[in-house]
Every structure is written in structure tokens, then in C-alpha cells.
Amino acid sequence: MTESEYEGRQDDIRAWETPAIAKFRNIYQDRDYEINMTIPEFTCICPRTGLPDFAVLRLSYVPDEHCIELKSFKEYVLAYRNKGIFHENVVNKMVEDIVASVSPRRLRLEGIFNARGGIATTVTREYNAP
């Protein structure tokens, strides 16, 4: 596929309505501490082939006023299972959604995608509150 054949295939990602990421009040917001999560069985769909893509996601964040509620986050992650989405867009969309939900002080998300055609992809994005 050429670049023009991909044109417009991911334009809906930023506006995609994902499940809400619930939060709870951080009673230790006077302290800087890091929360680390690993999602070892992440899946989404390759928008070109329609086949599943597999990844390990590693999320680290320093909460401010709120923390991520895990059950809702699991439901959020599962929404990607049937979505045709590029690896780069997975990581960027997730960071935007997490920041919108809990406004962390710092955040780092790393998506380590399994090899496809002999190429493994790792996409990393960091966020630091202004």
C-alpha cells in the first residue's frame, strides 16, 4: 500500500469514543509516587490486514488529584481489541485519554508490539503536566 492508500484510514482515531476511564481521589497527592502497570496481552487489529496485533503495554504515571480505577481501565483497554489502529495511534490515543481522565503529573506509556514481517515496533510517549 502506498501512502495515499492509507490516507484517511485513521482520521477517526482522535474522535473515537472509547469507554470512560474512571478515577478515584488520591489521598496522597501531597507526595510524588509512581504507579506502574503492565498489560501483557494487549490486542488490536492491523488496519491493513485485519489480523490481530499483539503487544505488551507498560504504563507508569505519577498521580496528582486522581488515580486510574483499574476495572474501568481494563474495559477501556479491551475496547481496542476490535479496533483497526496503527501502533503509533494506540499509544497516542491512550495517553490523551488517560491525561483527560486523571491529569497526572507525569506519564509514560510504552507499547511493545510483536514482530510483524520481521519488524518489532516499540512506541513510547511521555507526558509532563505544565
Residue 70 counted as domain residue: yes
Alpha helices (H) along 8-129: 70-78, 87-102
Active site residues: 46, 53
In a domain, 84, yes or no: yes
Q: Establish if 4 belongs to a structural domain.
A: no
Q: Would you say residue 13 lies in a domain? A: no
Q: What is the pTM of this model?
A: 0.92
Q: Which domain holds residue 70?
A: 20-128
Cβ–Cβ < 8 Å for 66, 24: yes
The count of structural domains within the chain is 1
Per-residue pLDDT of the chain (130 residues; tens, 9 = 90+): 555 566 667 888 999 999 999 999 999 999 999 999 999 999 999 988 889 999 999 999 999 999 999 999 999 999 999 999 999 999 999 999 999 999 999 999 999 999 988 999 999 999 999 9
Here the CATH number for the domain that contains residue 64 is 3.30.1130.10
- Report DSSP state, residue 31: S
- 2 belongs to a structural domain: no
